[in-house]
Structure 1
């Protein structure tokens, strides 16, 4: 049997359909929860910082000039959770990709411990 570091998706599905089918049933019934951020899959899938970065960029890409833009409100709320100082706020420009913001690493670093709230 492959280790968790090398098992393929197909082999994983075979296990979940067979030997461990009760796990899928338990998850569907709410008996189990999956934990994002446990670190066991860090080399296989995007990390939490990547998830947060993708979320910020997704919202930023949907922002419009409308005063009631829900994407703008959601993005502002998330950024405010990171409590940027005045210098960092000045570096945030919704018309520029978020990975170009000078403060993005600091923002992501502060959001890391708040990801459930984000």
Structure 2
């Protein structure tokens, strides 16, 4: 039982650390502790370390943006100007996962990272 408790404690610590890091970056970018999907997309697209892949399929321009910043990974996928997918992940956890085809939140709903 002692080993299991240590594993759980380490996982909680890792989640808290990742969450704090994401909150810090979110605050640096927006000046608040929340952001909308378009604000996060803008951050990813404008970051100097972002890698971009683009394809044109059936007359539509598809763009995939990948950014590693600190211990976080950001992924943005767009068709023309429409945001299809946006993910923010730590090494251990998914912090934000937006899918245009199924998410309950609108693009302009502020997302606040919960206290872990």
Shorter-normalised TM-score: what interval? under 0.3
Which structure has the greater CA radius of gyration?
Answer: 1
Bigger fraction of residues in strand: 2
TM-score, normalised on structure 1?
A: 0.25
Greater helix content: 1
Q: Whose RCO is larger (CA < 8 A, sep 6+)?
A: 2
